[in-house]
């Protein structure tokens, strides 16, 4: 009887260990699986020139593929700079993520994006009162600026899971098309061509730019 009880106990212990090992293994696989549903938030967009509450949603559509959409609301954060006021608008982004099969923690993704923001501008300029510019005066303009930017890019990223919480980091580059629509102002006295170094750079342009994303999220499934 004692021998039978010992055997039963050993079988129970062995079965328990086997089930525990299987659960750990399954949890490890689950931790590497791309999410069926995940919500994300980009904290650094809150401190940009156009402060934005940017939320993302990722949806798995295949074993190694997902799509992610980001929607951001640009809110009218009023700082001490009187030249740029009442910022408002939206930022939209869409990407398709192809996860590397070996790890399912890193991915490559093409993306498209659109920024549509308006703000009120105050610009003070020193202008000439006479043709010879012997008499100068300062004039202040108030007008609305329409900032539009769209682009297409490609990025490489990786996702690190902490249970269902996640950190999503990516780097890449994009071709961007930037346009600022505003009234044509009179050229001011001794105006210097410094727009390339101004923030924001209100010159219409097309070019390459780096991409960098950092998001915190939660995997729902």
Give the closest residue to 142 by CA, choosing from 179, 183, 181: 183
Beta carbons within 8 Å of 52's beta carbon, 6+ residues apart: 42, 45, 46, 72, 73, 74, 75, 91
- 27/43 same-domain check: no
- 15/83 same-domain check: no
- 24/59 same-domain check: no
Cα torsion 46, 51, 55, 58: sign: negative
DSSP string, 83-124: TEEEEEEEEEEEEEEEE-TTTSSEEEEEEEEEEEEEEEEEEE
The pTM of the full predicted model, rounded to 2 decimals, is 0.74
* pLDDT confidence of residue 218: 96
Beta carbons within 8 Å of 150's beta carbon, 6+ residues apart: 112, 113, 114, 115, 176, 177
Give the closest residue to 179 by CA, choosing from 212, 213, 210, 151: 151
- 27/50 same-domain check: no
User: Stretch 24-36: mean pLDDT, rounded?
Assistant: 55
Contact 176, 208 (CB under 8 A): yes
- 10/51 same-domain check: no
- 85/192 same-domain check: yes
State yes or no: pLDDT of 29 exceeds 90: no
* Total structural domains within the chain: 2
- 154/194 same-domain check: yes
- 14/43 same-domain check: no
* pLDDT confidence of residue 6: 47
* pLDDT confidence of residue 28: 40
* pLDDT confidence of residue 19: 46
- 28/66 same-domain check: no
- 149/120 same-domain check: yes
Which tens digits make up the pLDDT trace of 56-65?
999 999 989 9
**Residue 131: what are its φ and ψ, rounded to 5°?**
-65, -35
Residue 24's domain spans which residues? Answer: 1-32
Structure tokens at 115: 């920024």
User: Stretch 143-164: mean pLDDT, rounded?
Assistant: 94
- 15/115 same-domain check: no
Structure tokens at 176: 């961007």
- 156/86 same-domain check: yes
* pLDDT confidence of residue 30: 43
Which tens digits make up the pLDDT trace of 82-99?
788 889 999 999 999 999
Percent of the chain with pLDDT over 90: 52
For the chain, what is the total number of helices (H) and then of strands (E)? 1, 8
Beta carbons within 8 Å of 83's beta carbon, 6+ residues apart: 121, 122, 123
Find the farthest-apart pair of alpha carbons in the chain and give their distance in angstroms, rounded: 118
Give the closest residue to 151 by CA, choosing from 195, 94, 199, 109: 94
CATH code of 90's domain: 2.40.160
């Amino acid at each position: 009887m004692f021998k039978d009880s010992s055997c039963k106990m050993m079988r129970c212990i062995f079965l328990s260990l086997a089930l525990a090992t299987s659960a750990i293994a399954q949890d490890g696989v689950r931790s590497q699986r791309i999410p069926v549903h995940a919500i994300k938030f980009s904290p650094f967009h809150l401190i940009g020139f156009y402060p934005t509450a940017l939320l993302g949603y990722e949806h798995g559509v295949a074993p190694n593929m997902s799509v992610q959409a980001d929607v951001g609301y640009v809110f009218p954060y009023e700082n001490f700079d009187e030249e740029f006021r009442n910022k408002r608008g939206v930022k939209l982004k869409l990407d398709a993520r192809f996860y590397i099969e070996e790890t399912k923690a890193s991915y490559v993704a093409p993306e498209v994006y659109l920024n549509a923001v308006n703000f009120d501008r105050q610009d003070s300029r020193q202008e000439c009162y006479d043709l010879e510019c012997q008499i100068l005066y300062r004039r202040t303009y108030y007008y609305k600026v329409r900032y539009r930017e769209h682009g297409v890019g490609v990025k490489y990223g990786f996702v690190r899971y902490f249970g269902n919480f996640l950190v999503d980091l990516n780097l890449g580059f994009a071709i961007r098309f930037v346009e600022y629509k505003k009234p044509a102002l009179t050229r001011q006295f001794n105006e210097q061509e410094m727009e390339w170094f101004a923030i924001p750079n209100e010159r219409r342009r097309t070019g390459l730019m780096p991409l960098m994303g950092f998001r915190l999220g939660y995997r729902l499934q």
